[in-house]
């Protein structure tokens, strides 16, 4: 599969940047809507979609390569100039830590970055954030953005599996009290719209032959069908 380099050029004018990391397996309309709300509600100029090479907190289902996940993100971001596919974690390879990514992005955008980089966290990540690499320092170094996420259904054949200590916290996102987490004391809480869609759901629909055409950007749907991804024939 062909992977395109991002066409985005770092400009000298100031940019307020936010990072939306994830496996994006695949990227879907919920991700796009969240990024749109971050720009519209919080005034960010760009949202960098950063696919993880190897997430530190979960084991991904096999079958789709990191390059294919990156290609889908690049296709999705190509339709909106506010969104940029950032390939640094895929290119870096190995376990992907947000701390390392922020270090890279601060250097890359040194001439144009306005203020701190924003880190977007879905509610499924709230309870385990303290386990992240340099979590306390990260909370000071960046602006944390706490976003709502719809409840997730589990499909045995297509669900990712949480690892280690994260497994014990996997289902606590909806009940987690953010006011009791000191690391979130200065975080922005986003009242984003909840779209009942997830990557797990899309993988399951693709595997079972169900319809998911309007749950992903049109180019991503064509990429999945054309590449027979997720067992789709």
pLDDT in tens, 3-28: 444 444 455 579 999 999 999 999 99
What does the alpha-carbon distance between residue 207 and residue 168 come to, in Å, rounded to a whole number?
28
What does the alpha-carbon distance between residue 122 and residue 190 come to, in Å, rounded to a whole number?
10
pLDDT of residue 180: 87
pLDDT of residue 192: 95
What does the alpha-carbon distance between residue 133 and residue 31 come to, in Å, rounded to a whole number?
24
What does the alpha-carbon distance between residue 127 and residue 142 come to, in Å, rounded to a whole number?
18
Q: Check whether the bond before 26 is cis (ω within 30° of 0).
A: yes
Residues (pLDDT < 70) of the chain are: 1-12, 151-175, 232-233
pLDDT of residue 166: 40
Q: Cα angle vertex 88, ends 85, 91, to 5°?
A: 115
pLDDT of residue 174: 53
What does the alpha-carbon distance between residue 49 and residue 74 come to, in Å, rounded to a whole number?
9
Read off the pLDDT of residues 144-173 as tens digits, 9 standing for 90 and up.
999 998 765 444 444 444 445 444 445 544
CA distances to 10, 30, 50, 64, 101 from 73, rounded to whole Å, are 19, 13, 8, 13, 17
pLDDT of residue 7: 40
Residue 131 DSSP symbol: G
At which residue do the structure tokens 């996997």 appear?
170
pLDDT of residue 168: 47
Architecture of the domain made up of 17-197: 3-Layer(aba) Sandwich (3.40)
pLDDT of residue 8: 45
pLDDT of residue 71: 98
pTM: 0.86
Report residue 137 as tokens. 């320092």
At which residue do the structure tokens 């992907």 appear?
96
Q: Where are the domains of the chain?
A: 17-197
């Amino acid at each position: 599969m062909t992977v395109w380099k991002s066409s985005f050029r770092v400009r000298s004018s100031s940019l307020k940047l936010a990072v939306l990391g994830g496996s994006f397996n695949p990227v879907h309309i919920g991700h796009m809507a969240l990024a749109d709300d971050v720009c519209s509600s919080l005034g960010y100029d760009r949202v960098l979609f950063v696919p993880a090479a190897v997430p530190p907190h979960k084991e991904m289902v096999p079958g789709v390569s990191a390059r294919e996940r990156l290609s889908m993100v690049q296709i999705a971001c190509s339709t909106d100039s506010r969104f940029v596919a950032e390939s640094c974690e895929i290119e870096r390879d190995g376990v992907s830590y947000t701390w390392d990514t922020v270090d890279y992005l601060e250097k890359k955008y040194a001439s144009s970055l306005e203020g701190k980089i924003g880190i977007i966290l879905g509610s499924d990540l709230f309870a385990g954030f303290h386990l992240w690499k340099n979590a306390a320092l990260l909370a000071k170094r960046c602006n944390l953005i706490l976003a709502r996420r719809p409840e997730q259904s589990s499909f045995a054949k297509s669900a990712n599996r949480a690892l280690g200590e994260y497994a014990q916290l996997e289902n606590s996102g909806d009940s987690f009290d953010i006011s009791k987490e000191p690391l979130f004391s200065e975080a922005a809480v986003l009242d984003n719209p909840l779209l009942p869609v997830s990557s797990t759901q899309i993988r399951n629909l693709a595997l079972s032959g169900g319809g998911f055409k309007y749950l992903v950007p049109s180019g991503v749907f064509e990429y999945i069908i054309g590449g027979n991804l997720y067992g789709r024939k």
